[in-house]
Amino acid sequence: MAGFQYFPHTEEDIRAMLDRIGVSSLDDLYSDVPGSFIYDKEYDLPDAMSEQQIRDFFDRMASLTPRKTVFAGAGAYDHYTPSVIPYITSRSEFLTSYTPYQCEISQGTLRYIFEYQSLICSLTGMDVSNASMYDGPTAAAEAVRMCISATRGRNTVLVSQALLPNVREVIATYAKYSGTVIKLIACKDGRTDFADMRRLLEDGDVAGAIVPSVNRFGIIEDLDGFAAALHDAGALLTVYCDPSALAVLKTPGEWGADIAVGDCQSLGIPLCYGGPYAGFMACRNDYMRKLPGRIVGQTVDKDGRRAFVLTLQAREQHIRREKATSNICSNESLMALWVTVYMALMGPEGLKRVNELSCEGAHALYDGLLATGKFETAFKAPFLKEFVLRPLCDVKKLQQTLSDAGFFGALLTEEGYVSFCVTEKRTRAEIDALVETVRRAAL
Amino acid sequence: MAKIIEGLRYSESHEWVKAEGNVAVVGVSDFAQEEMGDITYLDMPMVGDEFAAGDEFGALESVKASSDLYCPVSGKVIEVNETLEDAPENINSDPFGSWIIKLEMSDPSELDALMDAAAYQAATSK
Amino acid sequence: MKYYDKLIFELSKPGRTGYSLPEPASKDALSAIPAGLRRESDTCLPEVSEPDVVRHYTALSQMNFGVDTGFYPLGSCTMKYNPKINEEIAAMPAFSAVHPLQEDIPGINEIIDGLDHALCAITGMDHFTFLPCAGAHGELTGLMVMREYHLRRGDTGRTKVIVPDSAHGTNPASAAVCGLQVVEVKSGPDGLVDVESLRPLLGDDIAGIMMTNPNTLGLFERQIGEIAELVHGCGGLLYYDGANMNPLLGMVRPGDMGFDIMHLNLHKTFSTPHGGGGPGSGPVGVKAALADIATSLKVSGFHGNFGVMLRAYAYILSLGRQNIRLAGKLSVLGANYIKESLKDVYKLPIPSVCKHEFVFDGLVNDGAHDDVKGATTLDVAKRLLDYGYHAPTIYFPLLFHQAIMIEPTETESRETLDAFIDIMRKIAAEAAENPATLHDAPHTTPVSRPDETLAARHPVLKWQDSI
């Protein structure tokens, strides 16, 4: 047998082990499998690669993946990742551990999740956070379920048309099979239309509504009155938000929301073609026992030392089984550590500065692009780092021109606007270069 | 050996009922609390809620289990034992003293369908 | 492991910074944002320096146990070695800097297509969707495929799904949130699905069956061929829970056993690190007739956990057509070796040959006598921590009261298994002699037996609650 670096067995080991078991060959260990199910053909896989061949293969794939300067957002933001983070998260005690079921040898994981929960609560203004979800859109879909289970007997959830398309799609997919009715709240002037929501509430059966804090046009929503209207109707308010922006923007808690969800990606997680990211989900104390997913709590051990454990497990799928309202089992633990370290490094001032720099850059780009004459204003409304413009040019050509110049931006929205995003990573020179590219191009 | 009290009626889902005129006082049996282990949380209905016999009216949670509570008889909730909200452990220490809800029965004859102490004894010692 | 009692908030000192960012150009860079839309309250984010952060999280990591720390025989979780090259591949800037909506990316497309092709070759399915981010997420997606298949045929009455009583807890939960009613099928005394109990459950209200094979007892469901025929015969589909795929690697393909839909846990079978509970990846594979449905289901934000997929693909390329032949076999070898070496001191309820894992039902002699309580499975698990091992999965599956579920994986040497066997025997001897030693375990860990009842009765779920 040729050696394989991950399998430690020598011929002699295998022989000795088979002897102890009392069988004569490895194939005998499959004597319980009907012969017709044993796959005896050659597997249609490449020849085994050495480590160097693997590196060469992925280097080649990397060379086929052009690197762009990112001026796009739409749910994935190119914020800077401090070097410390991957050093910490690649520590094998974190990286190669399982879910902290054995709390005595998992205090590291349990403590950072507790810190994560504390930070998410603080950013969102909520009372309780879980240990994280798969991503923002799935967290939103779970929020729909939570609204339903918190308001017994109701089966409709209102979803703002101003939410990102992928958030709406995931909500719709989950809702279709669980039988939940989703009604869309229209947009008006680039914002969630409050009057339309009130109208939908009058139809009754509404368990809750999900609206964005910063919407897909980049506009910061004014959610004054939303919580009151929903609460008057016995329904819950869920706010979908960008946690990075919550360092400076009014929080779901301040808007009176019951549930806050969103994607942690903006807290220094690399774009990585869409994942892994981590969703967050937090709520008011009233709904603590309806919150899906894992939760870490503080307690003391038998000698009185502060200790942390997975808690409130009676909510979870492995106990509730067919009575479960969520089937989520694992969280995105390592990504929760990632954003915890990020928030620790940034602190209140650093995270505020990320927003200030992004906001300045975005407004500079906005003004610069308008000045090219190739766009006009879509909405007159406050934005932070992302905005849309109405293009006066061919969008396909615009996108190609940007791509040829090494930029990724000008995403087309459902209405035909183009959206741009600027983070603190984008320098003034890059912003000017993009504007200059657009100005010069014949579009 | 779990304690069983004479004179109460018992359901298959381990609730006990004590009839006081038209009112049913409902709790969970000693057997049930032993099976659950340390009870950490009790989800209770609101006064005024109406249930048919067999409906879920709440839930018990322990560290590693969750168990729904089923209404042994039909009726309207007229009182809930609020002291249990802060001290669910009382169900462990005194299950028969820790009533959970009081129901105004709509059909007291439903009591006859429940087990008496001897039948419940037989059912739980299997 | 050393006990370290700080939380990051407790290291905070006003004025310290852990970031390096330029100054904004203007004094009020947020002037474009009206006051009414701005945050009013302070945050609890700590003010700490970079060295503070590094020391703190390093100290936390030292209270953790990973596969690199030692043997991790956690049943059902497939805790195999996580190759380091895969981490380097996943961190390559060429991949980590790509925005998910970028389209001009032939390199990434080739990787995803290659992984799809490889997983199909390994499992006998025809197409995989990578959007599910974890095993349970894959189950849910797979059941959506099942429901959609029936709905598109106008067969709306199929609202029930059959799940064996030995199933992973996520199975019934996934079914419930997918709007399906769970019908449980019992296991026979041999631990396998009882075909005669299954037969009467089948009808035109059955959407399908969810099975894992080998099942959670580590036993191969020999009658899977007949089960597939019966379920297909009633118009249902077969779903394969890929959590137990590892022993089949290189030997048996779910697609050949009659399964129509399956998920894989890339973080189990294909060695991507578990990360303390994620990120995982739970791609769903389907037969050709279901490919359009699988592709159409939008179950997560972008394309799934691409970073995890990169690692899994690197692992598959290292296995290649040659090494994959041994992967499953060696995992089965290890499991049977432990089982045969311990069955005289731990109760083995079902003595047949196992696959990658098996289940004991507590100690043969738990030391109980007179007023002394015997040692439980929990005690054995906690005592293992003292000896430097992660515990097996305990109290699952629910079929046995004292279940100890052991899964060694193919990356553990005979010496590692021998040392573990010795310790398990030593613990059994300790239990027989003086079970009290075990009731108090663990003795050498940073904390011991935290009060879970207190945690649940009086929840302290964030730092602000505790001060």
Assess whether A75 and A90 both reside in one domain. no
Which SS3 state, helix, strand or coil, does residue A8 take? coil
Residue range A179-190, pLDDT digits in tens: 999 999 999 999
Nearest beta carbon to residue C107 from set A65, A137, A303: A65
Q: How confident is the model at residue B126 (pLDDT cuts 50, 70, 90)?
A: low
Alpha carbons within 13 A on the beta-carbon side of A104: 27
Minimal Cα–Cα distance from C381 to chain B, Å? 17
Assess whether A294 and A172 both reside in one domain. yes
Spell out a b/e string for A224-263, using b for 16 or more CB atoms within 10 Å of the CB, else e.
Answer: eebbeebeebebbbbbbbbbbbbbbbbbbbbbbbbbbbbb
Rounded Cα distance, A96 and C71, in Å: 11
Instruction: Reply yes or no on domain B9-108 having CATH 2.40.50.100.
Output: yes
Rounded Cα distance, A369 and A207, in Å: 42
Residue A13 within any structural domain of the chain: no
Those residues whose C-beta lies under 8 Å from the C-beta of residue A108, and which sit 6 or more positions away, are A93, A94, A97, C60, C61, C62, C63, C64
Which SS3 state, helix, strand or coil, does residue A434 take? helix
Residue range A334-345, pLDDT digits in tens: 999 999 999 999
With tokens 């919150």, the residue in question is A291
pLDDT value of position A2: 59
- Determine, for residues C278 and A305 on separate chains, whether the beta-carbon distance falls below 8 Å: no
Residue range A64-120, pLDDT digits in tens: 999 999 999 999 999 999 999 999 999 999 999 999 999 999 999 999 999 999 999
Assess whether A384 and A323 both reside in one domain. no
Structural domain span for residue A377: 69-79+347-440
pLDDT value of position C27: 87
Residue range C83-112, pLDDT digits in tens: 999 999 999 999 999 999 999 899 999 999
| DSSP run (H or E) holding A386 | strand A386-391
What residues in chain C have their Cβ under 8 A from chain B's Cβ atoms? 452-453, 456-457
Q: Is the model's pLDDT at A5 over the cut of 90? A: yes
What does the block give as tokens for C225? 């061929």
Q: How confident is the model at residue C467 (pLDDT cuts 50, 70, 90)?
A: low
Q: What is the DSSP string of B111-124?
A: GGGSB-HHHHHHHH
Q: Is the model's pLDDT at C221 over the cut of 80? A: yes
Contact residues on chain A for C9, CB-CB shorter than 8 A: 115, 118
Task: Show which of A340, A364, A398 is a domain's final residue.
Answer: A340
Q: Is the model's pLDDT at A313 over the cut of 70? A: yes
Assess whether A330 and A359 both reside in one domain. no
CA C225 to chain centre: 27
In eight-state DSSP terms, residue C400 is S
Instruction: Kindly list the domain boundaries of chain B, sorted by start residue.
Output: 9-108
pLDDT value of position C48: 98
CB A373 within 8 A of CB A442: no
Assess whether A96 and A206 both reside in one domain. yes
Report the number of distinct structural domains present in chain A.
2
With tokens 């009112």, the residue in question is B23
Nearest beta carbon to residue C53 from set A70, A135, A345: A345
Residue A120 within any structural domain of the chain: yes
Assess whether A362 and A282 both reside in one domain. no
Residue range C389-407, pLDDT digits in tens: 999 999 988 889 999 999 9
Q: How confident is the model at residue A391 (pLDDT cuts 50, 70, 90)?
A: very high
Assess whether A245 and A108 both reside in one domain. yes
- Main-chain dihedrals φ then ψ at residue A83, nearest 5 degrees: -55, -30
Minimal Cα–Cα distance from B88 to chain C, Å? 8
Mean pLDDT of C16-43: 94
Which SS3 state, helix, strand or coil, does residue B46 take? coil
pLDDT averaged over chain A?
96
With tokens 């057997």, the residue in question is B31
Residue A275 within any structural domain of the chain: yes
Nearest beta carbon to residue B65 from set A312, A319, A323: A319
pLDDT value of position B2: 85
Residue range C188-214, pLDDT digits in tens: 999 999 999 999 999 999 999 999 999
Task: Show which of A316, A340, A364 is a domain's final residue.
Answer: A340
In eight-state DSSP terms, residue C372 is B
| DSSP run (H or E) holding A342 | helix A333-371
- Determine, for residues C452 and B61 on separate chains, whether the beta-carbon distance falls below 8 Å: no
Rounded Cα distance, A209 and A235, in Å: 8
Q: How confident is the model at residue C466 (pLDDT cuts 50, 70, 90)?
A: low
Residue A61 within any structural domain of the chain: no
Rounded Cα distance, C301 and A276, in Å: 11
What ranges make up the beta strands (E) of A4-49? none
A404 φ/ψ sector (left φ>0, alpha ψ -120 to 50, else beta): alpha
Best CA proximity match to C72, nearest among C372, C408, C309: C408
Contact residues on chain A for B63, CB-CB shorter than 8 A: 313-314
Residue A309 within any structural domain of the chain: yes
Q: What is the DSSP string of A75-118?
A: T-------THHHHHHT-HHHHT--SS-SGGGBHHHHHHHHHHHH
Assess whether A92 and A75 both reside in one domain. no
Q: What is the DSSP string of A202-217?
A: HT--EEEEEEESB-TT
Residue range C338-371, pLDDT digits in tens: 999 999 999 999 999 999 999 999 999 999 998 8
| CATH number, domain with residue A406 | 3.90.1150.10
| DSSP run (H or E) holding A325 | none
Assess whether A318 and A359 both reside in one domain. no
pLDDT averaged over chain C?
96
What does the block give as tokens for A258? 């019951």
Residue range A406-422, pLDDT digits in tens: 999 999 999 999 999 99
Rounded Cα distance, C90 and C80, in Å: 18
Minimal Cα–Cα distance from C408 to chain B, Å? 26
Rounded Cα distance, C251 and C355, in Å: 12
Type of residue numbered C416: T
| DSSP run (H or E) holding A182 | strand A181-185
Beta strands C237-242 and C261-264: pairing type?
A: parallel
pLDDT value of position C397: 87
Those of residues 104-163 in C touching chain A at CB distance below 8 A are 104-108, 110-111, 117-118, 121-122, 124, 133-137, 139-140, 143-144, 147
pLDDT value of position A241: 97
Q: How confident is the model at residue A195 (pLDDT cuts 50, 70, 90)?
A: very high
Rounded Cα distance, B94 and B83, in Å: 13
Best CA proximity match to A210, nearest among A195, A233, A226, A188: A226
Assess whether A186 and A291 both reside in one domain. yes
- Determine, for residues A317 and C169 on separate chains, whether the beta-carbon distance falls below 8 Å: yes
Gyration radius of chain C over CA positions: 25
Mean pLDDT of B13-40: 92
Residue range C171-189, pLDDT digits in tens: 999 999 999 999 999 999 9
Contact residues on chain A for B65, CB-CB shorter than 8 A: 314, 319
Residue range C293-306, pLDDT digits in tens: 999 999 999 999 99
CB A149 within 8 A of CB A353: no
What does the block give as tokens for C262? 């399956």
| CATH number, domain with residue A130 | 3.40.640.10
Q: Is the model's pLDDT at B35 over the cut of 90? A: no
Which SS3 state, helix, strand or coil, does residue A366 take? helix
Alpha helices, DSSP H only, in C124-233?
135-152, 170-177, 195-198, 224-233
Contact residues on chain C for A297, CB-CB shorter than 8 A: 455-456, 459-461
CB A213 within 8 A of CB A382: no
Which SS3 state, helix, strand or coil, does residue A392 take? coil
Is the preceding peptide bond at C459 cis, omega within 30 degrees of 0? no
Q: Is the model's pLDDT at A317 over the cut of 80? A: no
| DSSP run (H or E) holding C223 | none
Nearest beta carbon to residue C333 from set A14, A22, A295: A14
Residue A248 within any structural domain of the chain: yes
What does the block give as tokens for A169? 């799609």
Is the model's pTM score more than 0.90? yes
Task: Show which of A307, A340, A373 is a domain's final residue.
Answer: A340
Terminal-to-terminal C-alpha distance of chain B: 12
pLDDT value of position A152: 82
The greatest distance separating any two alpha carbons of chain A, rounded to the nearest whole angstrom, comes to 82
Type of residue numbered A185: I
Residue-range domains of chain C with CATH: 8-61 (no CATH), 84-320 (3.40.640.10), 329-453 (3.90.1150.10)
Residue A62 within any structural domain of the chain: no
Those residues whose C-beta lies under 8 Å from the C-beta of residue A174, and which sit 6 or more positions away, are A138, A141, A142, A144, A145, A180, C177, C299
Assess whether A300 and A156 both reside in one domain. yes
Look up the ipTM and state it. 0.97
Rounded Cα distance, A63 and C5, in Å: 46
With tokens 């729904």, the residue in question is B68
Best CA proximity match to C32, nearest among A382, A191, A357, A216: A382
